[in-house]
């Protein structure tokens, strides 16, 4: 009886510590969303210039001078200025995050403007 009670207490303690450990918030594993102000976004913003090749309801594709194509995705509303340019125009995309030819776009498109 005493052995059974000890095992139950030990099992309960281990289970509680596992649940508590899994419930803590991490500080940099990349899974948590961060809130930034517009000023911080502007400081971290990058620009990319190329030819607008394709526009869809949730993304658009821009190709640079060397022929590399990059997809920029957006969720709710179209980025500022995207409705003012058309396929074939030379555009400058202002964005935060990173772009890659092979990996999905991880960031936010701030604006799309016609390039000179």
Q: Where are the domains of the chain?
A: 38-114
Its sign, for the CA torsion 71, 54, 109, 64, is positive
- Domain 38-114 sits in CATH at 2.40.50
Q: Looking at residue 71, what is its pLDDT?
A: 95
Percent of the chain surpassing pLDDT 70: 79
Threshold 0.85, pTM exceeds: no
Which H or E run includes 12?
Answer: helix 2-23
Q: Is the pLDDT of residue 72 over 70?
A: yes
On average, the pLDDT of the chain sits at 82
pLDDT range class, residue 53, cuts 50, 70, 90: very high
Q: Looking at residue 26, what is its pLDDT?
A: 53
């Amino acid at each position: 009886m005493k052995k059974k009670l000890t095992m139950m207490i030990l099992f309960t303690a281990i289970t509680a510590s596992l649940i508590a450990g899994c419930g803590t918030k991490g500080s940099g594993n990349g899974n948590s969303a961060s809130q930034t102000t517009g000023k911080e976004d502007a400081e971290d913003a990058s620009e990319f210039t190329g030819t607008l090749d394709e526009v869809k309801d949730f993304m658009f594709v821009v190709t640079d001078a060397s022929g590399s194509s990059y997809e920029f995705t957006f969720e709710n509303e179209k980025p500022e200025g995207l409705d003012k340019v058309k396929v074939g125009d030379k555009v400058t995309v202002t964005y935060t995050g990173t772009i890659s030819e092979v990996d999905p776009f991880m960031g936010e498109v701030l604006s799309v403007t016609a390039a000179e």
